[in-house]
Amino acid sequence: MRLVLQRVTHGSVTIEGKVKGKIDQGYVVLVGFGQDDDEKVLDPMIDKMLNLRVFSDENGKMNRSLLDIGGSILSISQFTLYADCRHGRRPGFTQAAKPDIATTLYDQFNAKLTALGIHLAKGEFGADMLVEIANDGPVTIILDSETVLSKNK
């Protein structure tokens, strides 16, 4: 599982000319799943994401988490996070999870965030989306389950 977290002042997703979701301060999260991912990756990745201290405190230092600030998440499915660009000029996506598996994991990811009380807006799996991001900082963090889970062992 790969997450690209972008700290934002606001973000939105538009599908077929209609705003499907929008948030104020928080994260726009690009969410991708690899072939070997299953539901076991969700909880540790969510925990890491929600507790990362990348929001500014009263001194302007990155010292507060999304939970600390009561921030929101705009969740966007993004299979292209598994693009393989090693050969040629057209990326390959064979390392990305198959759509039926990825959509189930994406739905579970979003349901877990909602169950935790996170204000969540989301895109639509497989849709052509226009994502507007007002990256704050800019701060962009990449989380990969291979790295996050290896630290938990």
Respond yes or no: is residue 93 known to be catalytic.
Answer: no
| Cα distance between residue 50 and residue 45, in whole Å | 9
Respond yes or no: is residue 114 known to be catalytic.
Answer: no
Catalytic residue among 80, 108, 114, 147: 80
Respond yes or no: is residue 80 known to be catalytic.
Answer: yes
Catalytic residue among 6, 33, 55, 78: 78
Q: List residues with catalytic annotation.
A: 78-80
